[in-house]
Structure 1
């Protein structure tokens, strides 16, 4: 029977929803592991990496936990918890190995077009914060992954590292900073588009822009994916053995459409962002680092303030922020109805519970939305005391949807991070959440394949190929200084990093 306004059904091995860094990473890995695999990719917009993976919408840090203080929280007893920082640092090294493999095999262009060396710094002021930073630095020195980190309270040293940040500060102000010379700046938008450019050239892979996924239904152990071509309104159904929902903020509504038991109880809390972008070339040239500070009380992790040097479209840029805000959109190009339409019977209790438990966050976002240009400038002056309003303009950043999930004790909790939701049969997976996201994409996709391609990943062929793509695969870098040094030497050479 032929559907009205529909092409005949097509069957493929894999459907990827969303043309961002996650889908690109999974697509590249699967095609390398199984060259004859067939893949269809559907993207609602007209270009790849236009939402969370885009340079203006993404933190772009190369999240390695070198400078992000929210990954090393202080415990009630005053000690510093470094477990998350070590895990993220390890995952970033895995990503660099895979990118090195792509570069060496000419599957992407020159690494200078997507990754560059840039020092990562943490900067604090006030005695309590200085004490915290010292404790953080001392604790991180126990890990091989943070070898090379330097700590200083010396004003002359800090002025050499970040003259713009130190200029205009009083001689008695108590400040401190750590510096990791081997930090990076990553343009995930450029990297994503490079990977898709390669994938499109391969047999059995098709990338469709202006295509919106309308329905997901499992039938006879296959998924029927109903898509609409927004340019001509034509609808068709693709049958697939496996579906990956990697649509950023749009993943939650699609997971709800899939209607799998594992997806019940998940909700989303959207947080928008803005940057102050420097428009004075002289000031941009005076700063060369990613300088992260401490988040305000009640602030979400994506709102950790930073004065950030980046390379965007081949030009050096300087950003400060992000300033958080609230929107009911789940995507930058989404609908104001995204949040209300995501509320279902199975997630309304977790969402209400999480909301009641996070009233400080709600207050923080309301305060951020009400900020005047003068308020934003005052926040910038904490990091750049001599800042002038005429040198900066406001730039809209991307949307992030923080995960809300069921919790037996609280009813629902708000998670700051990424969450992979997979069906029990491994036939569908969705990636929810935000930071550190893109930087840990390769590790996330390995975890996904271990859950969804259970038999294939055990085969000698896949194991051997994974070891080629990621030389440390199956081993832990932390606690293995020689392996860590060897891997970093190899990746730095391949990616042309300092």
Structure 2
């Protein structure tokens, strides 16, 4: 080992949206703290945060049907939808604070207004969507939601989906005007550039190989400088593992008991992207459908207008795939390397439970382009193969752990924070809604890891995020205030246009 160990206050592993958000929050709260970021790739936001590696939806449950479930009595459970909506508003407020103070520029480069719609076919699904609409539309957070089964109205909302539709199957949709498209890659790069301007050391082409506790209670991080081909050692009181799929192995290397009995199941994604700009211009919305019976939540099909590099694009997907890699740029040994004596029974239990998922993934992997086109034609009847290409999106690692509700080897669909009891190290695991709720998740990290500081930080946090610690649903005036102000600061639709 090198004799020289570099000490710092905070180490962030991974230069994605999570590390960028946490670093920005901490720099506002504790500007004197020294922060170092380590990223194995050449640039920030190149893995899960990259604009081509995620759906780019500002997840606020306006259109995502998997956030509302039908209970046994036929009623619709909207608790998860409310939670995610409130969490996205925390992100909007923080981004607005940064724009207001000119800490980041040009919000139109990372967020754009776009209608969010849900679209279903078949009588049972239409009934579900109508009940969902009735449950949500009277809720303050979903005010302005519209529902229709009228083919003429549907033709106005999404002509590309309605043109050439010859079957008589019932079809219905909901629409919320004030949805968003978020370029998380662009936002990540803005935040990282801001951190660098504040003296944060960003180390690209630096891959973290080990994380271990010292006798003094610090965390020692072994980093391989991929350019200089040499190992470096850093020590810090606090380490955040925000390395996407790479976080699980580092969490295991840390040896903390909270990281045991946790495994990961990698799922890759494919999107179809339209290369005919005439077709692209015919659609202006994010339209989410309903996952097919037996399909996992991450398979919800959606037809998305996207804004990437200031150009309007149209994507459809996702199609799932399987790769043993935990990162798009990872190794085929990633999955095997995270199988440990403490989690092998958890993983085996998941394997038995999730046979349907395994079968689904095999079917998805074996799909030809024309079979994928047939799925696209359920959304766009007139879609032509020559107009569409396939893009490989990012890798997501679904968390597998033992839970009271699900028992041993339960597959988790969501975003999770795992932290040491003393708060000295935390890891971000999981997938959607992920980036959209990054501010909420990083506030969770701070509450777990800096409990002594949080009281002193609270006034500044409330300056950055006015609704911090409060429910927008229970404070209508506050909701209207933050909705209006963030809409104006971020260049989104004004209040009177969407909440009339």
Aligned with 1:182 (options 164, 173, 178):
178
For residues 77 and 420 of structure 1, what CA distance do their matches in structure 2 show?
33
Counterpart position of 2:363 = 367
Counterpart position of 2:401 = 405
1:418 touches 1:437 (CA, 8 Å); kept in 2? yes
SS in 1 for 2:10: strand
Counterpart position of 2:464 = 469
Counterpart position of 1:70 = 66
For residues 335 and 199 of structure 1, what CA distance do their matches in structure 2 show?
30
Over residues 195-224 of structure 1, what are the superposed CA-to-partner deviations in whole Å (9 max), with x where a residue is unaligned?
Answer: 000100113x10000111111111112100
Work out whether 1:358 is the aligned partner of 2:347.
no
Counterpart position of 1:457 = 454
CA positional deviation for 1:496: 0.6
For residues 78 and 474 of structure 2, what CA distance do their matches in structure 1 show?
14
Tell me: CA distance 1:183–1:7, structure 2 relative to 1, closer, same or farther (3 Å): farther
After TM superposition, the structure 1 stretch with the greater mean CA deviation from structure 2, 171-180 or 107-116, is 171-180
SS in 1 for 2:75: coil
For residues 390 and 35 of structure 1, what CA distance do their matches in structure 2 show?
53
- After TM superposition, the structure 1 = structure 2 runs for residues 207-218 of structure 1, keeping only pairs within 5 Å, are 207-218=202-213
For residues 143 and 153 of structure 2, what CA distance do their matches in structure 1 show?
19
Counterpart position of 1:172 = 168
SS in 2 for 1:40: strand
Counterpart position of 2:92 = 96
For residues 355 and 415 of structure 1, what CA distance do their matches in structure 2 show?
13
SS in 1 for 2:155: helix
Aligned with 1:321 (options 302, 317, 338):
317
After TM superposition, the structure 1 stretch with the greater mean CA deviation from structure 2, 477-486 or 40-49, is 477-486
For residues 59 and 352 of structure 1, what CA distance do their matches in structure 2 show?
31
Work out whether 1:255 is the aligned partner of 2:248.
no
Counterpart position of 1:484 = 479
CA positional deviation for 1:296: 1.9
RMSD, aligned α-carbons = 1.0
What TM-score do you get using the length of structure 2 for normalisation?
Answer: 0.97
SS in 2 for 1:424: coil
Counterpart position of 2:264 = 268
Work out whether 1:82 is the aligned partner of 2:78.
yes
- After TM superposition, the structure 1 = structure 2 runs for residues 48-59 of structure 1, keeping only pairs within 5 Å, are 48-59=44-55
- After TM superposition, the structure 1 = structure 2 runs for residues 391-402 of structure 1, keeping only pairs within 5 Å, are 391-402=387-398
CA positional deviation for 1:7: 6.7
What TM-score do you get using the length of structure 1 for normalisation?
Answer: 0.97
Write out the 4+ residue segments of structure 1 that deviate beyond 3 Å after TM superposition: none
Counterpart position of 1:138 = 134
Counterpart position of 2:442 = 445
SS in 1 for 2:398: strand
For residues 206 and 302 of structure 2, what CA distance do their matches in structure 1 show?
36
CA positional deviation for 1:359: 1.1
Aligned with 2:281 (options 282, 285, 289):
285
Aligned with 2:17 (options 21, 27, 32):
21
Counterpart position of 2:411 = 414
1:143 touches 1:479 (CA, 8 Å); kept in 2? no
CA positional deviation for 1:155: 0.7
Counterpart position of 2:496 = none
Tell me: CA distance 1:298–1:249, structure 2 relative to 1, closer, same or farther (3 Å): farther
Number of matched residues? 491
CA positional deviation for 1:433: 0.1
Work out whether 1:124 is the aligned partner of 2:143.
no
SS in 2 for 1:227: strand
Counterpart position of 1:424 = 421
CA positional deviation for 1:298: 2.9
CA positional deviation for 1:171: 6.7
Counterpart position of 1:196 = 192
CA positional deviation for 1:8: 1.3
After TM superposition, the structure 1 stretch with the greater mean CA deviation from structure 2, 70-79 or 252-261, is 70-79
SS in 2 for 1:336: coil
After TM superposition, the structure 1 stretch with the greater mean CA deviation from structure 2, 117-126 or 225-234, is 225-234
CA positional deviation for 1:231: 1.1
